[in-house]
Amino acid sequence: MFENKFIPVENVLIRKEIKETPFACDLRKCKGACCTLESEFGAPLLIEEISEIQNVLPSVKSLLSKEHWKEIQQSGFYEKKDGELMTRAINNRACVFVYFEKDIAKCSLEKIYFEGKSKFRKPISCHLFPIRISDFGGEILRYEKFSECTPALENGKGLNTTIADFCSDALIRKYGKNWYKKLKEFNG
């Protein structure tokens, strides 16, 4: 049963659905829903990401709405909930770092990264999405399903792209090229 659902790569277990499920974001259809899912909080953060984000705050200011920037100025961009660090959410919906291009929600941290103004792309939890990491005495990667991502499933089928393919940059960022190669080569 265990072997039928997981792929072991070094010290990480990956649910097979990550390698098998078609997936490729289609922003024209989902409108960046992952950045605006209804929730009291935004994205999970690692402690080492806090200083990275603090360093780039001046660069994202011009992209953010007055409401989002005011929240950051008054309350900060993150909070701790049940021992976990999370970005703040505006109105239980949008991550505090969201900006809009027309009607599509996008990440201001990622925009300045692609503009060459930062070496920090975005929180690894966002970069890996729709993959989530659980820790049960070791990391387990799982696919977190949201109805808002239905267009990504359809797009992935059309492009013959799986979650593992779509998240390759993030998986390599987190675990390295050799680790990712082992995941791709796994047959079982």
Residue by residue, pLDDT tens for the chain (188 residues) are 455 799 999 999 999 999 999 999 999 999 999 998 888 888 999 999 999 999 999 999 999 999 999 999 999 999 998 889 999 999 988 999 999 999 999 999 999 999 999 999 999 999 999 999 988 888 999 999 999 999 999 999 999 999 999 999 999 999 999 999 999 998 86
Same domain, 174 and 105: no
The answer to whether 6 touches 15, Cβ cutoff 8 Å, is: yes
- Output helix, strand, coil percentages for the chain, rounded to the nearest 5: 45, 25, 30
**Is the residue at 125 inside a domain?**
no
Q: Which domain holds residue 42?
A: 30-120
Can you give the pLDDT at residue 3? 57
In a domain, 166, yes or no: yes
Task: Please count the structural domains in the chain.
Answer: 2
Q: Are residues 144 and 170 in the same domain?
A: yes
